[in-house]
Amino acid sequence: MWRFEQKLPFGLILSEKSLKFYLDDNVQHDVVINMKLNLTQKIIKEHLISGDLTPGAAISIRIDQTLTQDATGTMAYLQFEALEIPKVKTELSVSYVDHNMLQSGYENADDHRFLQSIAAKYGIYFSRPGNGICHQVHLERFGAPGKTLLGSDSHTPTGGGIGMIAIGAGGLDVALAMGGQPFYLRMPKIVGIKLTGKLQPFVSGKDVILEVLRRLTVKGGVGKVMEYYGDGVANLEVPDRATITNMGAELGATTSVFPSDEKTRQYLSAQQREQVWKELTADPGCTYDEELIIDLDQLEPMVAQPHMPDNVVRVRDIAGLKVDQVAFGSCTNSSVRDLAVMAHMLRGRKVHTGLSAGLSPGSKQVFDEIVHNGDLIPIVEAGVRILESSCGACIGMGFSPPTEGVTVRTFNRNFLGRTGTKNAKAYLVSPETAVACAITGEFTDPRDLGIAPIQTKMPDQFRVDDSMVIPPSQEPEKVEIIRGPNIKPLPLAEKMPEVLKGVVLLKVEDNITTDHIMPAGAKILPLRSNIPAISEHVFEVIDPTFPARAKQAGGGFVIGGHNYGQGSSREHAALAPMYLGLKAVLVKSFARIHLANLINFGILPLTFVNEADYDKITKDDQLEIPVRDLSSGKLGVHNTTKGILIPVLHPLNEREIEIMKAGGSLAYAKAKA
């Protein structure tokens, strides 16, 4: 509240919702000004530590909860250890094991043991391997409306399905949040997505988000929060909402959020957690920076074609295309609701002989539920392979498709090579469409099968059993951290020199993902806690010679197009290139999390002033960039090979300039402490 009262015959009181003024008669007059807040603004305001709600303003917010998963968590906890803080300072921190579950050697098992011991020591809950995918379990057992959640995984916004502001970030940012530091970001624009009507049979939450992706593209959400409202919201159950907020990550959005309403109350009550429920909605009459309307009644089954989640058409448009594999599961679509749909549609039917189908139930709770309610029976009888409750095929951890195979997935990403088979073609669909394809062996609109519509009902009580979550130790001083040989010390960035000099190592197009920069999959993921080893795979999908060339040249530069670094939160996509000597990345625009990760690890992010200058740099050109003075935000890149000067910008604010000079966020945080 801002007051201008003093001892004057008039005064002003500016509060959130009104401007009061009074004259010497001491009568206050209320002028209601438009400070009605949407839901995102409300939650952010409640957590605001610095800055204001103006879009683009540098802000910092208090983080209530954190989550990590094993593939990003080992690094995050090494960073947390380096902060030398005895116990996490958050309300709740949970460490999940769900990604690196294929144990074809000692590496992953060693990492799991390390994570368990770290959690016990530092006040963190540990969700054991087998308990399920972090986002699904967090929604079920820990999330709470109105809270902030920072997770070292880009699909953390799943929590927005129950009214959280849940944001994906690099492991280092999560480590800092566990250390009690605020999370720094730019105040996003808020996009109001108005949902009207009701989904028709065989159309579900996945089709909603695929439609949003079709309209806005994979870069349409950068710097924005997607806030859902309208009378259609009440017609969506929490699992459908969570599917939508989960895959908002593919828009590049900071996060996505639904109101917390009666449906949310019922969901939390069925999880025996009604006490964390509170009603949360936008103020009536609030405004949004941008708006979109989706009429749920009109939606049809949709599909994202290779190799981008925004390459969306109607399933009907590609009907008849032969399918080689169908994969059910992932943090997007493996709730009890999704598996009930699967069971209903498969009952009495078989998986087509021309393909292989597999299911990874999203969590132990979901698995337990379908075992006890009998939904597992038609799934098994139909011939679906039962895989464990983990990310699995979604991240190429097994169940890779055949050569040039068409794989139909209820997942969220279909980037080149992500399945583990580089020339496979991955299509993203709803569970309804996936079952239809599994039955017929080709792309099929689920409405064309003549199956009776599904009446899914959320359970009144979920099967709650938290025995796979280990609370932190009561005697942390006695806990010994167990480190296997796979865990190598954390490399640190060097302080920035006055001039960055080197060669252009690689030039790439628009929408380069972190799966291109630092691939995942069964062979590479186990190296996540070993930066020297994992750095040998940087840019493997695009140019396998990159690591050797980078090392030989003593580092250098990468040139890119728009939305560089979209996709996952994996900071290894900055850390491993840093290890190889990458000094700066010059692109048309960045994706949010990767930009933050580059800054965290001291790699200078630059953007072209004139996009046409992208054509003036070629691979192997020699560049020189004087960086002594970063204060103006403008710099010049000398292309000494071509003899030209290219004007560029950096997006760093004062704090980030200090981070860059210190040699990254960890060095900066330690120096400040």
Alpha helices in 83-219 (DSSP H): 106-122, 134-141, 171-178, 205-216
Question: Can residue 139 be called a binding residue for ligand SF4 (CB under 6 A)?
Answer: no
CA 574 to chain centroid, in Å, comes to: 16
In whole angstroms, give the CA distance from residue 608 to residue 490.
Answer: 32
Q: Which C-beta is closer to ligand SF4: that of 352 or that of 425?
A: 425
CB of 391 to ligand SF4, least distance (A): 3
- Strands 644-649 and 604-608 turn out to be antiparallel
Tokens matching residue 245: 């907020």
Structure tokens at 502: 């080197």
> In the bound complex, what is the minimum distance in angstroms from residue 410's beta carbon to ligand SF4?
10
Is the CB of residue 15 less than 8 Å from the CB of residue 30? no
Footprint (CB under 6 A) of ligand MIC, residues 351-410: 395
Task: Give the span between the Cα atoms of 86 and 178, in whole angstroms.
Answer: 11
Binding-site size, ligand MIC (CB under 6 A):
14
Give the catalytic positions in this structure: 98-99, 153, 413, 568, 570
Least distance between ligand SF4 and beta carbon 199 (Å): 23
Q: How far is the CB of 529 from ligand SF4 (least distance, A)?
A: 17
- By CB under 6 A, the residues from 413 to 452 that bind ligand MIC are 413
How far is it, in rounded angstroms, from Cα 260 to Cα 280?
Answer: 5
**Considering only 120-128, 353-361, 561-569, 637-645, which stretch makes contact with ligand MIC by CB under 6 A?**
561-569
- By beta-carbon proximity to ligand MIC, the closer residue of 98 and 442 is 98
- CB neighbour list of residue 317: distance below 8 Å, 6 or more residues apart: none
Summarize the chain as % helix, strand, coil (round to 5). 35, 25, 45
Contacts of 443 (CB under 8 A, 6+ apart): 303, 315, 318, 319, 320, 321, 323, 408, 427, 437
395 counts as binding ligand SF4 under rule CB under 6 A: yes
Best CA proximity match to 43, nearest among 20, 59, 19, 67: 59
Among 65, 412, 440, 535, binds ligand SF4 (CB under 6 A): 412
- Residue 133 binds: one of ligand MIC, ligand SF4, none (C-beta under 5 to 8 A by kind): ligand SF4
Strands 183-186 and 58-61: antiparallel
Q: What is the DSSP letter of 187?
A: P
Segment near ligand MIC (CB under 6 A); pick from 147-155, 450-458, 477-485, 651-659? 147-155
CA distance 591 to 54: 20
* Residue 155 sits in the site that holds ligand MIC (CB under 6 A): yes
Closer residue to ligand SF4 (CB): 202 or 411: 411
Which DSSP state fits 640?
A: T
Q: Is the dihedral of CA 341, 343, 349, 354 positive or negative?
A: positive
Choice between 210 and 669, CB closer to ligand SF4:
210
By beta-carbon proximity to ligand SF4, the closer residue of 226 and 395 is 395
φ/ψ of residue 438, rounded to 5: -65, -35
Pick one of ligand MIC, ligand SF4, none as the site partner of residue 72 (Cβ within 5 to 8 A by kind).
ligand MIC
Which of 95, 330, 456, 639 touches ligand SF4 (CB under 6 A)?
A: 330
- Residue 436 beta carbon to ligand MIC: minimum distance, rounded to whole angstroms: 25
Distance CA 423, CA 353 (A): 22
Q: Tell me how far apart the alpha carbons of residues 165 and 257 are, in angstroms, rounded to a whole number.
A: 7
Parallel/antiparallel/unpaired status of strands 325-328 and 499-507:
unpaired
Q: Which of residues 165-224 bind ligand MIC (CB under 6 A)?
A: 168
Partner that binds at residue 330, options ligand MIC, ligand SF4, none, CB closer than 5 to 8 Å by kind: ligand SF4
| Shortest CB 395 distance to ligand MIC, Å | 5
Q: Which is nearer to ligand SF4, 521 or 555 (CB)?
A: 521
Residues in 513-542 that interact with ligand MIC by CB under 6 A: 520
Binder to ligand SF4 among 43, 286, 394, 652 (CB under 6 A)?
Answer: 394
307 touching ligand MIC, by CB under 6 A: no
Q: Cα–chain-centroid distance for residue 76?
A: 16
CB of 21 to ligand SF4, least distance (A): 52
List of residues contacting ligand MIC (CB under 6 A): 71-72, 99, 153-155, 168, 395, 413, 520, 567-570
List of residues contacting ligand SF4 (CB under 6 A): 99, 133, 153, 155, 330-331, 391, 394-395, 411-412
